[in-house]
Amino acid sequence: MSKLPSNARIVIVGGGVMGLFTAWECATRGETDIVILEQRKFLGAGATQKSAGGVRAQFTTAPNVMLSKYSQDFYRRRFAPEINPDFQYLEYGYLFFARSEEKLKALDNSLALQKKQGVDAVRRISPSEIREILPDLNISDVLGGNFSPEDGFVDPGDIVNGLDTSLRKFGVDIFTDCEVAGIDSISDFNFVVKTELGNISAEKILVATGSWSGEFMRKCGVKVPVDPYRRSLYISGPLPWFPKKSPFTFDICTGTHFRPESGGILFLKINPNEGPSHNEEPDWDWLEHIVPDLIHIMPRLEDAEIIDAWAGPYAMTPDHSPILGEIPASPSGVKKGIYIVTGFSGHGLMHAPASACAMSEYLLDLKTSTLDVSAYSLERYEKGELIEEAAVF
Ligand SMILES: Cc1cc2nc3c(=O)[nH]c(=O)nc-3n(C[C@H](O)[C@H](O)[C@H](O)COP(=O)(O)OP(=O)(O)OC[C@H]3O[C@@H](n4cnc5c(N)ncnc54)[C@H](O)[C@@H]3O)c2cc1C
């Protein structure tokens, strides 16, 4: 392994999709004096490689729809030609359906917001139209759904591999198995990043530590409200009758959701009673709470075999929206030049292109110009200007 350099213009802490994508944006603009430090053995080994790969514009707040629109366009048109020719954006859609008047009203509200924000493809569909998409779905108590054929899914492995290969071609230094212990602020735009492999002087730092961000920033004396929550994801055996090109489908009354994967399905449901932790063992006991939902939604799933499962951390914030921007400097604390991108609350893979674009502009220009992400500042929690996102599953 090569030796850690003694200095770099930009140090990125965290080799997940946010750190890698932001480095790529900087490198395409000519800034390659970048070091990425990842504590685990592999890039993307935090949440990124555990992701279900869903990409949607169906959010309930305008800023989150904005991040989605930019990112979806990037995945659809740019990722394959610019980063990885093997990458595919599988445009199979996202379907949210309701089985109560209250939830249908919530779908009315989100549909109106999305239309207002220019998500033209999303539309209300009836139970019988849902049956046309998924012939085996039990519509006996379904009142309606929102469907966008332009949403879809991606493979997180293709994203990490593509960014990794491209960054190495640009000459960006990447170190795995290298935990950052802390940051010393010397003066504005003058820091020492402390690691077990040695120290690096840096002008600017990007903290892209995902669900570790709360504890990492506490070491630097800064409160960042991000906590890790385990999410387990389960895979069924082959289901020859299940439509291979069907949408990511959400029963918004129970939160149970599923999509086609490797000839069967992949499915999840948040356990609302589980507290924060970095436990990454899949929760097999939680299955007994999901399987009855799945069988109600699609009775033919009764015979499905469950052949695999994994778990990873969601980086949850109090309003379920991310934190993007500069860490405010203070006379007794950190100096100017530390930026943060974190707290995606389960939506980071889909929001990575937009977030990386914004963070690269902060790092290179000290302000953003492509997207206005000022609403996502860390200070919003003190000011009480929350971006309360309801479409979190
Ligand atoms: C089961 C599951 C399903 C999901 N499904 C979806 C989905 O369908 N669509 C979607 O958009 N998102 C989904 N997500 C969320 C998505 O995976 C994350 O939002 C995204 O990967 C966050 O990227 P990140 O780079 O911020 O964090 P991470 O990928 O967690 O990367 C942060 C990295 O920082 C490293 N790190 C932390 N502290 C240090 C330190 N001190 N020194 C060095 N390195 C450090 C970690 O090891 C980690 O690799 C899912 C997540 C899970 C767990």
Torsion of CA 44, 68, 364, 168, to 10 degrees: 30
Q: How far is the CA of 363 from the centre of ligand 1 (A)?
A: 21
Whether residue 1 is predicted with pLDDT greater than 80 in this model: the reply is no
Boundary (domain end) residue, out of 260, 286, 310: 310
- Determine the average pLDDT of the residues in 347-374: 98
In a domain, 391, yes or no: no
Whether residue 95 is predicted with pLDDT greater than 90 in this model: the reply is yes
Mean pLDDT of the chain: 97
Does 197 lie in the same domain as 238?
A: no
Q: How far is the CA of 76 from the centre of ligand 1 (A)?
A: 22
Give how far Cα 98 sits from Cα of 76, 231, 260, 267, 391, Å: 28, 23, 20, 18, 13
Boundary (domain end) residue, out of 310, 330, 360: 310
Residue 244's pLDDT is what? 96
The tens digit of pLDDT for each residue in 47-63 reads 999 999 999 999 999 99
> What is the C-alpha to C-alpha distance for residues 261 and 130, in angstroms, rounded to an integer?
20
pTM of the predicted protein model: 0.98
Instruction: Write the Ramachandran bin of 329: left for phi over 0, alpha for psi from -120 to 50, otherwise beta.
Output: beta
> What is the C-alpha to C-alpha distance for residues 52 and 268, in angstroms, rounded to an integer?
9
Residues across the chain: 393
Q: Which DSSP string do the residues of 251-270 spell out, in sequence order?
A: ETTT--EEEEETTEEEEE--
In a domain, 258, yes or no: yes
- Determine the average pLDDT of the residues in 239-250: 97
Residue 2's pLDDT is what? 78
Whether residue 191 is predicted with pLDDT greater than 90 in this model: the reply is yes
Q: Could you tell me the CATH number of the domain that includes residue 350?
A: 3.50.50.60
How many Cα atoms occupy the beta-carbon half-sphere of 97 within 13 Å? 27
The tens digit of pLDDT for each residue in 103-159 reads 999 999 999 999 999 999 999 999 999 999 999 999 999 999 999 999 999 999 999
Whether residue 302 is predicted with pLDDT greater than 90 in this model: the reply is yes
pLDDT-based confidence at residue 305 (cuts at 50, 70, 90): very high
Residue numbers of the domain that contains 326: 7-50+156-226+319-383
Residue 370's pLDDT is what? 98
Specify the pairing of strand 248-251 against strand 94-98: parallel
Q: How far is the CA of 314 from the centre of ligand 1 (A)?
A: 7
Boundary (domain end) residue, out of 284, 310, 336: 310
The tens digit of pLDDT for each residue in 314-344 reads 999 999 999 999 999 988 789 999 999 999 9
In a domain, 68, yes or no: no
What is the chain's Cα-based Rg?
21
Helix (H, G, I), strand (E, B) or coil at 214: helix
- CB-based contacts of 327: which residues, under 8 Å, 6+ apart? 207, 217, 222, 334, 338, 339, 340, 378
Does 238 lie in the same domain as 135?
A: yes
Does 340 lie in the same domain as 295?
A: no
Choose the residue to mutate in 22, 35, 43, 48 for probing ligand 1, maximizing ligand atoms within 8 Å of C-beta: 48
Residue 333's pLDDT is what? 87
DSSP assigned state of 245: T
Residue 375's pLDDT is what? 98
Q: Could you tell me the CATH number of the domain that includes residue 280?
A: 3.30.9.10
Q: How far is the CA of 20 from the centre of ligand 1 (A)?
A: 11
Does 200 lie in the same domain as 139?
A: no
Whether residue 250 is predicted with pLDDT greater than 90 in this model: the reply is yes
pLDDT-based confidence at residue 383 (cuts at 50, 70, 90): very high
Whether residue 249 is predicted with pLDDT greater than 80 in this model: the reply is yes
Closest CA to 14 of 359, 289, 256, 288: 359
> What is the C-alpha to C-alpha distance for residues 23 and 29, in angstroms, rounded to an integer?
10
Lining residues, ligand 1, CB within 6 Å: 13-19, 37-40, 44-48, 50-54, 179-180, 208-212, 216, 231, 233, 312-314, 342, 344, 346-350
Whether residue 361 is predicted with pLDDT greater than 70 in this model: the reply is yes
Does 169 lie in the same domain as 303?
A: no
Residue 174's pLDDT is what? 98
Does 236 lie in the same domain as 118?
A: yes
Alpha helices in the chain (DSSP H): 17-28, 62-73, 79-82, 101-116, 127-133, 156-170, 213-219, 287-297, 348-365, 380-383
Choose the residue to mutate in 38, 217, 220, 227 for probing ligand 1, maximizing ligand atoms within 8 Å of C-beta: 38
Helix (H, G, I), strand (E, B) or coil at 385: coil
Q: How far is the CA of 331 from the centre of ligand 1 (A)?
A: 32
Number of domains observed in the structure of the chain: 2
- Determine the average pLDDT of the residues in 226-249: 98
- Determine the average pLDDT of the residues in 197-224: 97
Does 142 lie in the same domain as 32?
A: no
By mean pLDDT, which of 180-184, 210-214, 272-276, 331-335 is the weakest? 331-335
Give how far Cα 168 sits from Cα of 34, 164, 175, Å: 11, 6, 11
Asked if residues 267 and 256 have their Cβ atoms less than 8 Å apart, the reply is: yes
Specify the pairing of strand 144-148 against strand 173-175: unpaired
